[in-house]
């Protein structure tokens, strides 16, 4: 008899949540995935790299070396655990708070920093990497991901498409249109909602009357599951099963990763205006790195020396990425037009020429007409 999937055993209507690691790092052995020490070390490394690279980005912004930035602190388990279950041929559609997922997929940290520095080079996806570009308009990536997964189904490609978004996106029409389409056409889509409790300053309770976000999937005819988004093993197990189901023709799945944004919405935000210190401290006690570290220590993998060596190694990696990003020259004006189409259409070329002439005229004026 086939074993029932974990994602099918937890009912969001009953308030059930998949958790494998508790906040102290104790494991539910019946649910523990069969991951070797190497995989566990890799997961932890990605989580630490995400945390440290994120903290560096905030510092760069504060010193004027990076533009407005959306921190990922607190999302490491949800991002890394889900992306780690993807295969090379699968597609990933990110939103603006997905540093960990980008790193797992092999997106260069240097290029990620370039994006937030406002350099067009920052969104040129490396050849062979099935990542879509970062979506800033909330929820707009959801229909794109569903469309890509429908195309894969039509073409007979046995792949899955994973799309990330926050709880605020579930209040957008794009989300509901994408979910409905995925349900009707049984597309191989895995929806990963990072429910961090706030859409900027709007708490989840003011966005929906539903007890969970995952239960919204039921209205569209497919499964939804709530997972502890601070538990990297739970997120990984749910994502792995959902992706396997999608690839084998089983249709879409909605994963609600129940987590918390420990930092501000962006570097232009001040979360202290709408969140209490007590609330933040309560979530800090459940944060993903401490939990996974405790688990690894119990398995004899983590130690103080191990952490010291890892942090030193990652610090060097981040410093190199910053150096390389800041050494990249500013983009050329033509880059605004060059990469929209394989071949630039006449009207876009005309606009480019108009802008070039305008900038040339402006420069002559500044030079005193010379």
Which of 261, 275, 291, 293 is the catalytic position? 261
Distance CA 21, CA 173 (A): 35
**Opening angle at CA 183, ends 178 and 185, nearest 5:** 95
Which of 204, 240, 265, 275 is the catalytic position? 265
Q: Is 265 labeled as catalytic in the residue annotation?
A: yes
Give me the helices (H) in the chain, please.
37-62, 76-83, 99-105, 109-116, 141-155, 173-185, 216-219, 232-247, 277-284, 288-298, 304-327, 335-338, 346-366
φ/ψ of residue 209, rounded to 5: -90, -5
Distance CA 109, CA 320 (A): 9
Q: Is 295 labeled as catalytic in the residue annotation?
A: no
Q: Is 274 labeled as catalytic in the residue annotation?
A: yes
Per residue, what are the HEC states of 178-246?
HHHHHHHHCCCEEEEEEECCEECCEEHHHCCCCCCCCCHHHHCCCEEEEEECCCHHHHHHHHHHHHHHH
Which of 9, 272, 274, 356 is the catalytic position? 274
123 is written with which tokens?
A: 């969104």
103 class by beta-carbon count within 10 Å (0-12 exposed, 13-18 middle, 19+ buried): buried
For residues 19 and 292, the answer to whether their CB atoms sit within 8 Å is no
CB burial of 231-243 (b: ≥16 within 10 Å; e: otherwise) equals bbbbbbbbbbbbb
For residues 111 and 327, the answer to whether their CB atoms sit within 8 Å is no
Q: What is the DSSP letter of 329?
A: P
Write the CB contacts of 352 (distance below 8 Å, at least 6 apart in sequence): 333, 334, 336, 337, 344
Cα-Cα-Cα-Cα dihedral of 336, 147, 93, 246, to 10°?
Answer: -160
Query: Annotated active-site positions, please?
Result: 261, 265, 274
């Amino acid at each position: 008899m086939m074993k029932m999937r974990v994602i099918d055993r937890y009912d969001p209507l009953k308030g059930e949540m998949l958790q494998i690691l508790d906040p102290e790092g104790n494991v539910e052995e019946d649910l523990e995935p069969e991951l070797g020490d190497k995989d566990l070390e890799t997961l932890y490394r990605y989580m630490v790299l995400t945390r440290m690279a994120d903290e560096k980005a905030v510092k760069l912004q504060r010193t004027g070396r990076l533009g407005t930035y959306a921190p990922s602190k607190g999302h490491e388990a949800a991002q890394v655990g889900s992306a780690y279950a993807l295969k090379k041929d699968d597609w990933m559609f990110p939103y603006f708070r997905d540093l960990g997922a980008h790193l797992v997929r092999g997106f260069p940290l240097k290029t990620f920093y370039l994006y937030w520095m406002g350099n067009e080079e920052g969104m040129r996806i490396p050849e062979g990497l099935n990542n879509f570009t970062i979506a800033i308009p909330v929820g707009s990536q959801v229909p794109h991901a569903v469309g890509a997964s429908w195309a894969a189904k039509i073409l007979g490609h046995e792949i899955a498409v994973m799309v990330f978004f926050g709880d605020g996106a579930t209040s957008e029409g794009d989300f509901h249109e994408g979910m409905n389409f995925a349900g009707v056409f049984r597309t191989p889509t895995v929806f990963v909602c990072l429910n961090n409790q706030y859409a900027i300053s709007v708490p989840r309770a003011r966005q929906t009357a539903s007890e969970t976000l995952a239960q919204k999937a039921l209205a569209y005819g497919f499964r939804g599951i709530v997972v502890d988004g601070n538990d990297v093993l739970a997120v990984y197990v749910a994502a792995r099963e959902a992706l396997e189901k999608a690839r084998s023709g089983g249709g879409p799945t909605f994963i609600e990763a129940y987590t918390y944004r420990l930092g501000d919405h962006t570097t232009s935000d001040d979360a202290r205006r709408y969140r209490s210190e007590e609330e933040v401290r309560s979530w800090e006690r459940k944060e993903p790195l401490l939990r996974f570290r405790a688990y690894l220590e119990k398995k004899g993998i983590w130690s103080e020396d191990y952490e010291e060596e890892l942090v030193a190694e990652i610090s060097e990696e981040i410093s190199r990425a910053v150096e390389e990003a800041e050494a990249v020259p500013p983009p050329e004006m033509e880059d605004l037009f060059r990469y929209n189409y394989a071949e630039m259409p006449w009207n876009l070329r005309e606009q480019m020429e108009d802008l070039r002439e305008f900038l040339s005229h402006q420069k002559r004026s500044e030079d005193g007409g010379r």
